[in-house]
Structure 1
Amino acid sequence: MNKIKAFFRNKWVGFTLASILYLLWFVVWTGNLWFLLGLPIIFDLYISRLFYRYVWHHNAELCRKSKTYKAVYEWVNAIIFATIVASLVHLFFFQMYVIPSSSMENSLLIGDYLYVSKVAYGPQMPNTPVAFPFVHHTMPFSKTKKSFSECIRWPYHRLKGMGSIERNDVVVFNFPAGDTVLLERQEVSYYDMLRDYQRTFGREEGRKRLQQEYTIITRPVDKRENYIKRCVGLPGDTLQIIDTDIYIDGVHQELIEQRQFLYRTATPISDYALEKLNISECTYTDEYGRERAVPSLYFMTDASKAELDRLDKQARESGHGEVIDARKQVATTPTDVFPQDYRYAWNQDNYGPIWIPQKGATITLTTDNLPLYRRIIETYEGNRLEVSDDGQILINGVATDSYTFRMNYYWMMGDNRHNSADSRFWGFVPEDHVVGKASFIWLSLDRNKSFPGNIRWSRMFTKVK
């Protein structure tokens, strides 16, 4: 036993083991050769001890002479160490995410705290590595001061993960349309506002007025808002929605148990029935910022609808109680959905067919299908695209009738189908926007209740399905 202890205390053994671990993690896994510059630091730490001899021994002397200095040093050292470890865990392994909206109800509820695995699909190296720790894109106690610097910009690079995105995975990703932001109104989409202004004032005047009224900024991929949705379409799929049901390559897809839709009833549903049947009211925010219910409009799952129908049938047969007669609200006329082009007369409930791009696949480009893939070609894959007056398509100045995609793309939708801003409205999710897989709920708090009644004990440590 003493020989084993002596073996591991040997400085050359320590250096060798630390170097192997460092090389496997920071060089091989990340694929970044710049991290080789860390090996001389490890060598000095274990072998040469030059830094300690000429610099750090002064710190050791001060710690021996002053108890105050020693206490401050230990606190600072602990904070720095904890910050580094937490940052590495956040970057390479997992992060926590809290559900902010109802777009995934009833699968995920507002107030659910999730464990999001980054190793599931492989952690992505940051685009902006110089950033304030533990915040996303804005400094604490500020709504406008950015928390990162773009002095260093790294290209997209994803490390090896446990697997790839599968159909119906619940995925956290950076909001694709969040590349441009209205600083004074970050809760709304810049592109939605731009379209509204252009419809009101004209194409050029609308853009000009929006620029005059708001401060417009851009954000790199890793600093865009985090969204969470279910992946219903994979690269290479042809997706179509018919009367709210999803078809992939013409095959009807299995129903998500907790998905829900908007229903209109003939009479209001009682508060008791709402809670018992797990039905949510459709609400809106009034001019004073208060949340109000829309009369006779409710979100409910298939199971809730079936139970409501059973109770409704009993009421009809007995002649007691009011008939509810809940009917699903299915859109039948074209609405403002992706790609927001008059040639695509789609809506959120009847959509497509649309082909989801796959890395390495080549398509024939026409002026008709260009609206579907223009943002991919220009924004996500960084090309200069133009259409000449005679309808000829030019990419980076070269006339072409085809395009080969450089990344995989995904189609994401919320389970609360009639209350979700998702791919139906802003299009494809590029692979370089994917953050990780929602694995399980580790805490769930009901915002409408006070402690300890606000803790949803039954949801804690349950797997996200």
Structure 2
Amino acid sequence: MALEKEINRSTAKSSKPKSAAREWLDSIVFAVVAATLIRWLFFEAFTIPTPSMENSLLVGDFLFVSKLHYGTRTPKTPLQVPLTHQTIWGTSIPSYLDWIQLPQYRLPGFSDVKRGDVVVFNYPPELQHPVDLRTNYIKRCVGLPGDQLEVRDMQVFANGQALENPVRMENEYFVSTTTAVNEEKVFRENGVSEFSGYTETYNDTIPSNDESGYLVYTTEAIAARLKEYDFVKDVRTVKATKEISEPSLYPNSPLFRWNRDNYGPVTIPAEGKTVQLTPENVAMYGEVIKRYENNENVVIEGNKVTIDGKAVEQYTFKQDYYFMMGDNRHNSADSRYWGFVPKDHIVGKAVFVWMSIDPNPTSALNKIRWNRLFRIIE
């Protein structure tokens, strides 16, 4: 009988209703845990902040990125505030501690990265953060591990074959006009989101020409449409000749006199691939060996590489790498400027746009780009 009373007393205690505050706390904890697991395992939402992928992806597009396609990465930095990246929301306070760094693995995925995939990855040169917390970039993969990649007169080639250009790829054009134009009407209504103000000389940009007009970043189809206006004298593609050298390009070496429109050829590192460390290869791959291959005490002095005090004359890569480019080919900081993307930096595949908000709408009614909602990313 006494035992029965004790059981009844215990049951009464356990059935005591939770307070409203406790109910809210339990709901919040459950939601945070569920959202964190979904964000890590399945997909994550991103927004497009820059025009580097226009006209395929626009500034203000919100998209879902699949972690399942290439395989989910295990966390490297476990001491982190949930649902944050580098800082706590709305502050500059770091959201993580790098006291513990775990080995990183990748779960099995649906597929490997393919040429033409739109990929989200961690920005490799951002060495001040752990790999999984470097800034997220989005570009199109144009080069796979082991590919020989080259840009000839603005056309990308892989292993000697011209790649199919993205349908909405943008180039830079000079629009020569007889007078200043209504920019809002002529450019924005035609879907041109980036253009310079009117100027009376473009000698530095268009060699051997002293004309008035605008620089615009747009698609080939829209450029042809602009040419139909009476006040437009000509629309010409802006491009660099092969003789011009851009010193800011990767690998920032005088051994390579390339520009953004004529780049390479360059061989993309592949796991298990061995290269001889010639002066050209040290310039091309030295920083890869030092930064991304988890080697200890790498020293590069001129054309010589030492690893943990031992001079090496050849090197075998430990992981695959990729070459990424933006669809807005003249307004994209991509692999042409900072190099290869290691496989352990790959976050996921961009799948579809679920919302799109125009940052510069012509009216409040046009704030949401309704025609872009639930658009599959090609």
Aligning the two structures, in what range does the TM-score lie when normalised by the shorter sequence?
0.7 to 0.9
**Corresponding residue number in structure 1 for 2:298:** 385
**Corresponding residue number in structure 1 for 2:104:** 156
Q: Secondary structure at the match of 1:353?
A: strand
Report the Cα distance in structure 1 between the residues aligned to 2:319 and 2:138, rounded to whole angstroms: 20
Aligned pair partner of 1:221 in 115, 122, 131: 131
Please show how residues 252-401 of structure 1 align to structure 2 within 5 Å: 252-267=162-177, 268=180, 270-271=182-183, 272-283=185-196, 296-309=214-227, 311=228, 321-332=230-241, 333-335=244-246, 336-383=248-295, 384-387=297-300, 392-401=304-313
CA positional deviation for 1:388: 5.9
The 1:399/1:458 distance shift into structure 2, 3 A limit, reads same
CA positional deviation for 1:331: 1.9
Aligned pair partner of 2:57 in 97, 108, 112: 108
**Corresponding residue number in structure 2 for 1:464:** 377
Report the Cα distance in structure 2 between the residues aligned to 1:282 and 1:343, rounded to whole angstroms: 34
Please show how residues 132-281 of structure 1 align to structure 2 within 5 Å: 132-143=81-92, 145-179=93-127, 218-267=128-177, 268=180, 270-271=182-183, 272-281=185-194
Report the Cα distance in structure 1 between the residues aligned to 2:305 and 2:335, rounded to whole angstroms: 26
Report the Cα distance in structure 2 between the residues aligned to 1:58 and 1:444, rounded to whole angstroms: 55
The 1:62/1:234 distance shift into structure 2, 3 A limit, reads same
**Corresponding residue number in structure 2 for 1:11:** none
Report the Cα distance in structure 1 between the residues aligned to 2:257 and 2:214, rounded to whole angstroms: 29
CA positional deviation for 1:458: 0.7
Q: Does 1:418 align with 2:330?
A: yes
CA positional deviation for 1:141: 2.7
Please show how residues 41-60 of structure 1 align to structure 2 within 5 Å: none
Q: Secondary structure at the match of 1:424?
A: helix
Q: Specify the structure having the higher radius of gyration (Cα).
A: 1
Q: Secondary structure at the match of 2:279?
A: coil
Report the Cα distance in structure 2 between the residues aligned to 1:374 and 1:339, rounded to whole angstroms: 9
CA positional deviation for 1:306: 2.8
Q: Secondary structure at the match of 1:368?
A: helix
CA positional deviation for 1:402: 1.0
Task: Give the conservation status (yes or no) of the 8 Å contact 1:63–1:70.
Answer: no
Report the Cα distance in structure 1 between the residues aligned to 2:192 and 2:81, rounded to whole angstroms: 41
Q: Taking structure 1 as the reference length, what is the TM-score of the superposition?
A: 0.71
CA positional deviation for 1:283: 4.7
**Corresponding residue number in structure 2 for 1:404:** 316
CA positional deviation for 1:93: 0.4
Report the Cα distance in structure 2 between the residues aligned to 1:406 and 1:171, rounded to whole angstroms: 21
Report the Cα distance in structure 1 between the residues aligned to 2:168 and 2:330, rounded to whole angstroms: 13
Task: Give the conservation status (yes or no) of the 8 Å contact 2:75–2:132.
Answer: yes
Report the Cα distance in structure 2 between the residues aligned to 1:219 and 1:59, rounded to whole angstroms: 51
- 4+ residue stretches of structure 1 with deviation over 4 A? 57-60
Unpaired segments ≥5 residues, structure 1: 1-56, 180-217, 285-293, 313-320
Q: What is the Cα-based RMSD across aligned positions, in Å?
A: 2.2
CA positional deviation for 1:275: 3.5
Q: Secondary structure at the match of 2:86?
A: coil
Report the Cα distance in structure 2 between the residues aligned to 1:331 and 1:400, rounded to whole angstroms: 38
Report the Cα distance in structure 2 between the residues aligned to 1:283 and 1:137, rounded to whole angstroms: 34
The structure in which a higher percent of residues are helix is 1
Q: Secondary structure at the match of 2:21?
A: helix
Task: Give the conservation status (yes or no) of the 8 Å contact 1:257–1:302.
Answer: no
Task: Give the conservation status (yes or no) of the 8 Å contact 2:121–2:137.
Answer: yes
The 1:96/1:344 distance shift into structure 2, 3 A limit, reads same
Letter in 2 for 1:80: V
Q: Secondary structure at the match of 1:265?
A: strand
**Corresponding residue number in structure 1 for 2:368:** 455
Q: Does 1:93 align with 2:42?
A: yes
Report the Cα distance in structure 1 between the residues aligned to 2:86 and 2:151, rounded to whole angstroms: 35
CA positional deviation for 1:382: 2.4
Q: Secondary structure at the match of 2:287?
A: helix
The 1:99/1:73 distance shift into structure 2, 3 A limit, reads same
The 1:91/1:371 distance shift into structure 2, 3 A limit, reads same
Report the Cα distance in structure 2 between the residues aligned to 1:164 and 1:351, rounded to whole angstroms: 26
CA positional deviation for 1:269: 5.4
Question: Larger RCO: Structure 1 or Structure 2 (Cα < 8 Å, ≥ 6 residues apart)?
Answer: 2
Task: Give the conservation status (yes or no) of the 8 Å contact 1:269–1:324.
Answer: no
The 1:59/1:375 distance shift into structure 2, 3 A limit, reads farther
CA positional deviation for 1:140: 2.1
Task: Give the conservation status (yes or no) of the 8 Å contact 1:365–1:401.
Answer: yes
Task: Give the conservation status (yes or no) of the 8 Å contact 1:269–1:296.
Answer: no
Report the Cα distance in structure 1 between the residues aligned to 2:298 and 2:322, rounded to whole angstroms: 22
Q: Deviations over 1:49-72 (max 9, x none)?
A: xxxxxxxx99983771xx6x5222
Report the Cα distance in structure 1 between the residues aligned to 2:154 and 2:263, rounded to whole angstroms: 9
Report the Cα distance in structure 2 between the residues aligned to 1:379 and 1:424, rounded to whole angstroms: 18
CA positional deviation for 1:276: 4.3
Identity of aligned residues (%): 42
CA positional deviation for 1:452: 4.3
Instruction: Give the aligned length.
Output: 348
Report the Cα distance in structure 1 between the residues aligned to 2:148 and 2:215, rounded to whole angstroms: 32
CA positional deviation for 1:219: 0.7
